[in-house]
Structure 1
């Protein structure tokens, strides 16, 4: 097996392929103006200790919300309330436990569906990754967040002197500080190894072109003007490798963040949002009626889980007070109060399972997952580097489906050109995205 590409290279290739060809399936139920990371999740990632933050960053809020709903609703996973995440924690764990031989045995339809889910997860995961990286950068500086670049530069210089190996500092921490600098001072980024290599090779990409890649995705070209690509097993394998390497990145961040205190302001923000929700929820309940549990779960699942992870005692007391001061006849309230104290342990246990699975994959010859401290020569890459390495991704054209040509000729316009077709148009119709 040849050299395994880095997470930066893999995500760069995947971003470039999607930018050139569009999503495999355009999900019209997804609103483009909805941020990939909401204010609550952003605050929560900053408020949690490193071990919990890395697991939530990798999986999203579903890691906490789904087990809570399962216990409170007394239903198996998949039959309770719907959740926005495309991939459940169990699906991600199965992805880490799979190997490339398993992927090769899947049908084209299975591959297409998995690519769709993994690409959506990858976008959300990358956004959460950037939140944690910036949080680590500020934590390493040890100053209040500010837009004053002069103050940031001064703080970086002070920390660089403290961490420089010649001053008795740690080489890995010093290099990490240099990597983090570009996150807070984008006008003065540190040159990565890939950038230096690109310059030596005479790469013709310009800063404007890279800047365009960083901008929000532009409106897709009309379906009739772009080719539909058949999902290939090679793309599926790239996503598998990226999943393995992504967990390694989150592990690194978690270990680094464990050396710093959690953001107190972010903790207050999470708890404040939860208290405001409880107050509004109690006010909206009709006088003399029982508390509406289903309404509470639908609107407040993320808030109650986030608050519990930040301050379990305060969250439990607030929910218990709500049930005591209002008529809470539904026995599911009791199950909710029993489920909340288990949230943090659930997250930690999942992180342990993921670590075991990723380490097994590494020992089996899959993408190597590096943990901070094991490789002193390797510094923690930043999310910005992932985008900057897009110029190194080589696009391999996939086979084209003939459906579009057939459709424009007016023959059998409303049915697939072949049984089991996995082109964009056929998949959209099959999965309900096309009327």
Structure 2
């Protein structure tokens, strides 16, 4: 039998790679992982975790404004970007340390350097060391897409936004997906003038139309400007150190920061996959089967690098299923139906299952129930913003096909509702559940 240095070598120590490493090691495998940046990957280091902390920080602007309606006198309010930024970066380091400890506690060797594939069972580290492994797992994630136009080098991506030296007063954001809308809400709440530029008229493609329309209405009322059908064509540096961003054929916009948030592509450049006979897909993704195996029997891939569903919990499940299948004697895969998702915009939205349009196309005969309400807190604080919950139901079976929500705390509420949709419950099951009053969540069982 062939002898290898490791049973498993993982390239990429993000959420999927770390989970796969830990579970494989728990099954008795000898495991190593290589990471060219920092252990923790996109989510922990430069993605959902630090971004959510910025969202929390930005919420205080609204809370402090509303405080007087609840009897509080708040004087001398002042925001210091450096305090929030540094606190976020410290917490990133704390979590990175915890991830590293997880690898150490499970006796997983880790190399803080780039690794590339040299063949079906070989990898080469940036230092020149060559290592063999019975199995190789690629979990390198995805990377921001940068468009091509004059002056794009003056722009930043979500990778750099957490390290801004000072808070920008004017922010131009290209893109209207979840990353763009989340940072638009953060900067707007903290006091910046935000302009969102998009190549089409659609924001948050894939979410229910009613929620997208409501978010557009509310964010415009909050002061975010939109320019549709006009992607950036040029960004110039000005004499005072600022930027001029030109959207389409419109007049240039003054900006301190231009953030490109036009999506993320699988990070596969220069991995050496051709040495193992693996060809990339049209978006640069690694094609895999239902069990995350590539065209090479000894090489697997999980997470965003496969471009299935780019969500951290999906990468974790794929990594876990891979380790159980290959090393645990329990062959299983990841199920992708009824995956809940959220956008931490302001207000946030969350969804699970089919949108109204998708349900009509698939089932034809459907029913749509909704609750359009003003959150209790907003009433007291004199805010006119309204929440909207939708439930899409198969008219024949009454089975719930999808739930879509926009309003305060929607992601927190949806998680429990997603279990019900995944379990195949019906509208009658929701109707039979006693409402938890007074709460926004009770609207889920009161929809008509």
More strand by share: 2
- Identify, as 1 or 2, the structure richer in helix: 1
TM-score range relative to shorter protein: under 0.3
